[in-house]
Protein backbone atom coordinates (compact mmCIF):
# COMPACT_ATOMS: atom_id res chain seq x y z
CA UNK A 1 0.00 0.00 0.00
CA UNK A 2 1.29 3.39 -0.82
CA UNK A 3 -1.04 5.69 1.02
CA UNK A 4 0.71 5.99 4.32
CA UNK A 5 -0.82 3.21 6.32
CA UNK A 6 2.53 1.65 6.70
CA UNK A 7 4.47 -1.53 6.33
CA UNK A 8 4.88 -4.19 8.91
CA UNK A 9 8.51 -3.58 9.76
CA UNK A 10 7.49 -1.17 12.48
CA UNK A 11 4.74 -3.31 13.94
CA UNK A 12 5.89 -6.90 14.25
CA UNK A 13 6.60 -7.60 17.85
CA UNK A 14 5.40 -11.03 18.82
CA UNK A 15 6.28 -10.51 22.47
CA UNK A 16 4.55 -7.20 22.82
CA UNK A 17 4.42 -3.85 21.10
CA UNK A 18 1.82 -2.04 19.19
CA UNK A 19 -0.47 -3.93 16.88
CA UNK A 20 -0.97 -2.76 13.34
CA UNK A 21 -3.26 -4.01 10.63
CA UNK A 22 -0.26 -5.80 9.19
CA UNK A 23 0.86 -7.39 12.43
CA UNK A 24 0.21 -11.13 12.33
CA UNK A 25 0.55 -11.40 16.09
CA UNK A 26 -2.61 -9.33 16.31
CA UNK A 27 -4.50 -11.95 14.39
CA UNK A 28 -3.20 -14.75 16.47
CA UNK A 29 -4.16 -13.67 19.97
CA UNK A 30 -5.74 -16.39 22.10
CA UNK A 31 -9.48 -16.41 21.68
CA UNK A 32 -12.31 -18.81 22.13
CA UNK A 33 -12.90 -20.55 18.85
CA UNK A 34 -16.27 -19.49 17.50
CA UNK A 35 -15.67 -20.85 14.04
CA UNK A 36 -18.84 -22.90 14.38
CA UNK A 37 -20.88 -19.74 14.55
CA UNK A 38 -19.17 -18.41 11.44
CA UNK A 39 -20.17 -21.57 9.66
CA UNK A 40 -23.87 -21.30 10.41
CA UNK A 41 -25.52 -20.49 7.14
CA UNK A 42 -28.14 -17.75 7.28
CA UNK A 43 -28.11 -17.17 3.57
CA UNK A 44 -28.50 -19.15 0.41
CA UNK A 45 -25.61 -18.79 -1.99
CA UNK A 46 -24.41 -19.89 -5.35
CA UNK A 47 -22.57 -23.22 -5.31
CA UNK A 48 -18.83 -22.78 -5.34
CA UNK A 49 -18.90 -19.32 -3.83
CA UNK A 50 -16.89 -18.90 -0.65
CA UNK A 51 -16.91 -15.15 -0.04
CA UNK A 52 -19.78 -12.89 -1.02
CA UNK A 53 -19.74 -9.11 -0.81
CA UNK A 54 -23.16 -7.50 -0.85
CA UNK A 55 -23.28 -3.72 -1.23
CA UNK A 56 -20.10 -3.26 0.76
CA UNK A 57 -19.05 0.34 1.25
CA UNK A 58 -16.16 1.49 3.40
CA UNK A 59 -15.63 4.97 4.76
CA UNK A 60 -12.57 6.45 6.41
CA UNK A 61 -14.19 9.14 8.53
CA UNK A 62 -16.41 10.89 5.95
CA UNK A 63 -14.48 9.77 2.89
CA UNK A 64 -15.87 6.83 0.98
CA UNK A 65 -13.10 4.45 -0.14
CA UNK A 66 -15.35 1.67 -1.47
CA UNK A 67 -18.67 2.18 -3.16
CA UNK A 68 -21.32 -0.57 -2.97
CA UNK A 69 -19.18 -3.54 -3.88
CA UNK A 70 -21.07 -6.71 -4.77
CA UNK A 71 -19.14 -9.76 -5.88
CA UNK A 72 -18.91 -13.53 -5.38
CA UNK A 73 -15.45 -14.94 -4.80
CA UNK A 74 -15.23 -18.59 -5.86
CA UNK A 75 -13.80 -21.32 -3.66
CA UNK A 76 -10.43 -22.88 -4.55
CA UNK A 77 -9.69 -20.31 -7.19
CA UNK A 78 -7.34 -17.35 -7.44
CA UNK A 79 -9.18 -14.05 -7.59
CA UNK A 80 -7.09 -10.99 -8.46
CA UNK A 81 -7.96 -7.40 -7.69
CA UNK A 82 -6.41 -4.80 -9.91
CA UNK A 83 -6.82 -1.08 -10.34
CA UNK A 84 -4.97 2.20 -9.92
CA UNK A 85 -3.48 3.31 -6.64
CA UNK A 86 -6.01 4.38 -4.06
CA UNK A 87 -9.05 2.72 -5.67
CA UNK A 88 -9.72 0.60 -2.58
CA UNK A 89 -8.24 -2.83 -3.37
CA UNK A 90 -6.47 -3.22 -0.03
CA UNK A 91 -9.46 -1.80 1.79
CA UNK A 92 -11.64 -4.48 0.23
CA UNK A 93 -9.14 -7.20 1.12
CA UNK A 94 -9.17 -6.03 4.73
CA UNK A 95 -12.96 -6.27 4.82
CA UNK A 96 -12.75 -10.03 4.35
CA UNK A 97 -10.82 -10.68 7.55
CA UNK A 98 -12.03 -7.56 9.36
CA UNK A 99 -8.59 -6.02 9.54
CA UNK A 100 -10.32 -2.68 8.96
CA UNK A 101 -11.66 -3.07 12.51
CA UNK A 102 -8.20 -2.00 13.64
CA UNK A 103 -8.41 1.32 11.82
CA UNK A 104 -10.36 3.71 14.03
CA UNK A 105 -11.46 5.88 11.12
CA UNK A 106 -12.82 2.93 9.10
CA UNK A 107 -16.52 2.09 8.92
CA UNK A 108 -17.87 -0.83 6.90
CA UNK A 109 -21.43 -0.98 5.54
CA UNK A 110 -23.13 -3.86 3.77
CA UNK A 111 -22.68 -7.61 4.15
CA UNK A 112 -19.53 -9.66 3.76
CA UNK A 113 -20.38 -13.34 3.87
CA UNK A 114 -18.01 -16.24 4.41
CA UNK A 115 -19.75 -19.52 3.66
CA UNK A 116 -22.99 -17.61 3.88
CA UNK A 117 -22.39 -16.11 7.31
CA UNK A 118 -21.91 -12.38 7.66
CA UNK A 119 -18.49 -11.89 9.20
CA UNK A 120 -19.70 -8.59 10.63
CA UNK A 121 -22.43 -10.25 12.72
CA UNK A 122 -22.11 -9.60 16.45
CA UNK A 123 -21.48 -13.27 17.22
CA UNK A 124 -18.41 -13.51 14.98
CA UNK A 125 -15.09 -13.27 16.78
CA UNK A 126 -12.69 -11.41 14.47
CA UNK A 127 -9.68 -13.29 15.77
CA UNK A 128 -11.30 -16.66 15.09
CA UNK A 129 -12.29 -15.31 11.69
CA UNK A 130 -8.65 -14.46 10.97
CA UNK A 131 -7.66 -18.05 11.59
CA UNK A 132 -9.93 -18.97 8.71
CA UNK A 133 -8.79 -16.06 6.59
CA UNK A 134 -5.00 -15.79 6.61
CA UNK A 135 -3.10 -12.83 5.25
CA UNK A 136 0.25 -12.21 3.57
CA UNK A 137 1.54 -8.68 3.12
CA UNK A 138 3.58 -6.82 0.54
CA UNK A 139 6.81 -6.82 2.47
CA UNK A 140 7.88 -10.14 3.99
CA UNK A 141 7.48 -9.74 7.74
CA UNK A 142 8.86 -12.77 9.56
CA UNK A 143 9.21 -12.58 13.31
CA UNK A 144 12.75 -12.24 14.69
CA UNK A 145 12.54 -15.90 15.65
CA UNK A 146 13.69 -19.20 14.25
CA UNK A 147 12.23 -20.55 11.03
CA UNK A 148 10.45 -23.24 13.05
CA UNK A 149 9.01 -20.75 15.55
CA UNK A 150 7.83 -18.45 12.80
CA UNK A 151 5.49 -21.17 11.59
CA UNK A 152 4.66 -22.64 15.01
CA UNK A 153 4.06 -19.31 16.73
CA UNK A 154 0.48 -18.89 15.68
CA UNK A 155 -0.33 -22.46 16.64
CA UNK A 156 1.23 -22.02 20.07
CA UNK A 157 -0.61 -18.88 21.05
CA UNK A 158 -3.86 -20.37 19.80
CA UNK A 159 -3.17 -23.42 21.93
CA UNK A 160 -3.83 -25.48 18.80
CA UNK A 161 -3.81 -29.25 19.13
CA UNK A 162 -1.69 -31.50 16.97
CA UNK A 163 1.88 -32.42 16.30
CA UNK A 164 3.56 -29.06 15.74
CA UNK A 165 6.62 -30.66 14.10
CA UNK A 166 4.34 -32.26 11.57
CA UNK A 167 2.32 -29.09 10.96
CA UNK A 168 5.47 -26.97 10.60
CA UNK A 169 6.94 -29.44 8.11
CA UNK A 170 3.71 -29.71 6.16
CA UNK A 171 3.23 -25.92 6.07
CA UNK A 172 6.80 -25.36 4.88
CA UNK A 173 6.28 -28.01 2.22
CA UNK A 174 3.07 -26.41 1.03
CA UNK A 175 4.88 -23.08 0.89
CA UNK A 176 7.59 -24.70 -1.27
CA UNK A 177 10.27 -23.84 1.29
CA UNK A 178 10.91 -27.10 3.13
CA UNK A 179 13.73 -28.38 0.92
CA UNK A 180 15.61 -25.12 1.31
CA UNK A 181 15.32 -24.82 5.10
CA UNK A 182 14.83 -28.32 6.54
CA UNK A 183 18.39 -28.41 7.89
CA UNK A 184 18.28 -24.95 9.42
CA UNK A 185 14.96 -24.79 11.21
CA UNK A 186 16.61 -23.29 14.30
CA UNK A 187 18.14 -20.42 12.37
CA UNK A 188 16.54 -17.01 12.26
CA UNK A 189 13.82 -16.40 9.72
CA UNK A 190 15.35 -12.98 9.16
CA UNK A 191 18.48 -14.56 7.66
CA UNK A 192 16.55 -15.92 4.70
CA UNK A 193 16.40 -14.13 1.35
CA UNK A 194 13.43 -11.87 0.65
CA UNK A 195 11.69 -14.50 -1.46
CA UNK A 196 12.30 -17.19 1.15
CA UNK A 197 11.02 -14.86 3.86
CA UNK A 198 7.83 -14.33 1.88
CA UNK A 199 7.37 -18.09 1.49
CA UNK A 200 7.99 -18.39 5.25
CA UNK A 201 5.20 -15.87 5.80
CA UNK A 202 2.98 -17.94 3.52
CA UNK A 203 3.87 -21.05 5.57
CA UNK A 204 2.93 -19.14 8.71
CA UNK A 205 -0.40 -18.15 7.15
CA UNK A 206 -1.07 -21.75 6.11
CA UNK A 207 -0.23 -23.37 9.47
CA UNK A 208 -3.64 -22.74 11.11
CA UNK A 209 -5.21 -24.32 8.01
CA UNK A 210 -7.25 -21.34 6.80
CA UNK A 211 -9.88 -21.46 4.09
CA UNK A 212 -8.93 -18.18 2.47
CA UNK A 213 -5.51 -16.64 1.97
CA UNK A 214 -5.47 -12.91 1.32
CA UNK A 215 -2.36 -11.57 -0.36
CA UNK A 216 -1.65 -7.87 -0.67
CA UNK A 217 0.91 -7.44 -3.44
CA UNK A 218 2.91 -10.40 -2.12
CA UNK A 219 5.61 -10.27 -4.78
CA UNK A 220 6.04 -6.56 -5.36
CA UNK A 221 9.11 -6.36 -3.12
CA UNK A 222 10.78 -9.38 -4.75
CA UNK A 223 13.09 -9.93 -7.70
CA UNK A 224 11.80 -11.70 -10.84
CA UNK A 225 13.04 -15.17 -9.82
CA UNK A 226 11.51 -14.95 -6.35
CA UNK A 227 8.35 -13.50 -7.91
CA UNK A 228 8.09 -16.43 -10.26
CA UNK A 229 8.35 -18.87 -7.33
CA UNK A 230 5.60 -17.06 -5.49
CA UNK A 231 3.41 -17.14 -8.59
CA UNK A 232 3.95 -20.91 -8.98
CA UNK A 233 3.17 -21.32 -5.32
CA UNK A 234 -0.07 -19.36 -5.58
CA UNK A 235 -1.15 -21.66 -8.37
CA UNK A 236 -0.48 -24.70 -6.16
CA UNK A 237 -2.17 -23.12 -3.14
CA UNK A 238 -5.42 -22.70 -5.05
CA UNK A 239 -5.80 -26.48 -5.07
CA UNK A 240 -6.49 -26.32 -1.35
CA UNK A 241 -7.28 -22.73 -0.55
CA UNK A 242 -9.19 -19.80 -1.90
CA UNK A 243 -6.69 -17.09 -2.76
CA UNK A 244 -7.56 -13.43 -3.09
CA UNK A 245 -4.67 -11.31 -4.28
CA UNK A 246 -4.17 -7.59 -4.80
CA UNK A 247 -1.59 -6.84 -7.45
CA UNK A 248 -0.43 -3.80 -9.38
CA UNK A 249 1.05 -6.08 -11.98
CA UNK A 250 -1.52 -6.78 -14.67
CA UNK A 251 0.60 -9.46 -16.30
CA UNK A 252 0.77 -11.19 -12.96
CA UNK A 253 -3.00 -11.03 -12.57
CA UNK A 254 -3.38 -12.43 -16.09
CA UNK A 255 -0.90 -15.24 -15.36
CA UNK A 256 -2.10 -16.46 -12.02
CA UNK A 257 -5.75 -15.66 -11.52
CA UNK A 258 -8.98 -17.33 -12.56
CA UNK A 259 -11.11 -14.28 -11.87
CA UNK A 260 -10.21 -10.63 -11.98
CA UNK A 261 -11.93 -7.71 -10.32
CA UNK A 262 -11.14 -4.27 -11.71
CA UNK A 263 -11.54 -1.43 -9.24
CA UNK A 264 -11.32 2.10 -10.52
CA UNK A 265 -11.16 5.53 -8.98
CA UNK A 266 -13.90 6.25 -6.52
CA UNK A 267 -13.77 2.79 -4.98
CA UNK A 268 -15.95 1.34 -7.69
CA UNK A 269 -15.87 -2.27 -8.84
CA UNK A 270 -16.23 -1.68 -12.55
CA UNK A 271 -15.96 -5.23 -13.85
CA UNK A 272 -15.53 -8.68 -12.35
CA UNK A 273 -15.28 -11.70 -14.57
CA UNK A 274 -13.10 -14.57 -15.75
CA UNK A 275 -9.56 -13.30 -16.10
CA UNK A 276 -9.39 -14.19 -19.80
CA UNK A 277 -12.51 -12.19 -20.49
CA UNK A 278 -11.25 -9.16 -18.56
CA UNK A 279 -7.95 -9.11 -20.41
CA UNK A 280 -9.18 -10.11 -23.86
CA UNK A 281 -12.61 -8.63 -24.18
CA UNK A 282 -13.80 -6.54 -21.23
CA UNK A 283 -17.33 -5.17 -21.34
CA UNK A 284 -16.35 -1.81 -19.91
CA UNK A 285 -14.52 0.74 -21.99
CA UNK A 286 -12.96 2.14 -18.82
CA UNK A 287 -11.57 -1.31 -18.02
CA UNK A 288 -10.23 -1.64 -21.54
CA UNK A 289 -8.53 1.75 -21.22
CA UNK A 290 -7.01 0.72 -17.91
CA UNK A 291 -5.85 -2.67 -19.15
CA UNK A 292 -4.29 -1.16 -22.25
CA UNK A 293 -2.48 1.44 -20.20
CA UNK A 294 -4.44 4.47 -21.33
CA UNK A 295 -4.64 5.59 -17.70
CA UNK A 296 -3.81 4.46 -14.19
N1 LIG B 1 -6.05 3.93 7.33
C2 LIG B 1 -6.59 4.80 6.47
N3 LIG B 1 -7.05 5.97 6.91
C4 LIG B 1 -7.61 6.87 6.06
N5 LIG B 1 -7.74 6.66 4.74
C6 LIG B 1 -7.30 5.49 4.25
C7 LIG B 1 -6.70 4.50 5.08
N8 LIG B 1 -6.37 3.44 4.31
C9 LIG B 1 -6.73 3.76 3.06
N10 LIG B 1 -7.28 4.99 3.02
C11 LIG B 1 -7.78 5.68 1.82
O12 LIG B 1 -8.74 4.84 1.18
C13 LIG B 1 -8.57 4.87 -0.23
C14 LIG B 1 -8.32 3.45 -0.73
O15 LIG B 1 -7.06 3.01 -0.23
P16 LIG B 1 -6.52 1.54 -0.46
O17 LIG B 1 -5.21 1.43 0.22
O18 LIG B 1 -7.57 0.58 -0.11
O19 LIG B 1 -6.35 1.56 -2.05
P20 LIG B 1 -5.50 0.60 -2.95
O21 LIG B 1 -6.26 0.46 -4.21
O22 LIG B 1 -5.15 -0.64 -2.22
O23 LIG B 1 -4.20 1.47 -3.19
P24 LIG B 1 -2.69 1.01 -3.47
O25 LIG B 1 -2.75 0.28 -4.77
O26 LIG B 1 -1.97 2.32 -3.58
O27 LIG B 1 -2.25 0.19 -2.33
C28 LIG B 1 -7.43 5.84 -0.50
O29 LIG B 1 -7.97 7.11 -0.78
C30 LIG B 1 -6.69 5.87 0.80
O31 LIG B 1 -6.03 7.10 0.99
Q: Identify which of 101, 93, 45 has the alpha carbon closest to the alpha carbon of residue 66.
A: 93
Start-to-end CA distance of the chain, whole Å, equals 15
pLDDT at 293: 86
In a domain, 264, yes or no: yes
pLDDT at 160: 73
CA angle 139, 171, 157 (to 5 degrees): 80
The distance of Cα 246 from the centroid of its chain, to the nearest Å, equals: 8
pLDDT at 58: 98
Cα separation, 167 vs 169, whole angstroms: 5
Residue of 1, 2, 3 with the most ligand 1 atoms within 8 Å of its CB, for mutation = 3
Give residue 286's domain range: 76-101+126-291
pLDDT at 80: 98
**Tens of each residue's pLDDT in the chain, 296 residues:** 333 333 333 223 333 333 445 554 444 432 223 333 333 333 333 449 999 999 999 999 999 999 999 999 999 999 999 999 999 999 999 999 999 999 999 999 999 999 999 999 999 999 889 989 999 999 999 999 999 999 998 787 767 778 899 999 999 999 999 999 999 999 999 999 999 999 999 999 999 999 999 999 999 989 999 999 999 999 999 999 999 999 999 999 999 999 999 999 899 999 999 999 999 999 999 999 999 987 65
pLDDT at 36: 33
Helix (H, G, I), strand (E, B) or coil at 81: strand
In a domain, 62, yes or no: no
Residue of 56, 58, 86, 244 with the most ligand 1 atoms within 8 Å of its CB, for mutation = 86
Ligand 1 centroid–CA 173 distance in Å is: 34
pLDDT at 161: 77
Pocket flag, ligand 1, residue 2 (CB < 6 Å): yes
Domain tally, the chain: 1
Q: Please state the ipTM of this predicted complex.
A: 0.98
pLDDT at 39: 37
In a domain, 190, yes or no: yes
Q: Identify which of 210, 218, 202, 255 has the alpha carbon closest to the alpha carbon of residue 78.
A: 255
In a domain, 280, yes or no: yes
Left (φ > 0), alpha (ψ -120 to 50) or beta: where does 217 sit?
A: left
Asked if residue 270 lies in contact with residue 264, where contact means CB atoms within 8 angstroms, the answer is yes
pLDDT at 23: 52
In a domain, 32, yes or no: no
Q: Whose CA is nearest to atom 31 of ligand 1?
A: 3
Pocket flag, ligand 1, residue 87 (CB < 6 Å): yes
In a domain, 61, yes or no: no
Helix (H, G, I), strand (E, B) or coil at 205: helix
Q: Whose CA is nearest to atom 23 of ligand 1?
A: 86
In a domain, 196, yes or no: yes
For residue 8, give Cα distances in angstroms to 138, 207, 249, 285: 9, 20, 21, 37
Within 10 angstroms of residue 51's Cβ, the number of other Cβ atoms is: 24
pLDDT at 129: 93
**The domain that contains 160 carries what CATH number?**
3.40.50.300
Within 10 angstroms of residue 187's Cβ, the number of other Cβ atoms is: 13
In a domain, 53, yes or no: no
Amino acid sequence: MTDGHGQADDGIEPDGGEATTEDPSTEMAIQTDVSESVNDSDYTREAGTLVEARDVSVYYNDDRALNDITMDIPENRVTAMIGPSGCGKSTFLRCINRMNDMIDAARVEGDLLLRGKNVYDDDVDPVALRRRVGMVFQKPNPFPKSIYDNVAYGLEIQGADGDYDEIVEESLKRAALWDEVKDQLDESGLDLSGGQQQRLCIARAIAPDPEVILMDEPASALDPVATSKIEDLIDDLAEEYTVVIVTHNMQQAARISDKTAVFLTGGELVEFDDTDKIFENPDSERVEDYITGKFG
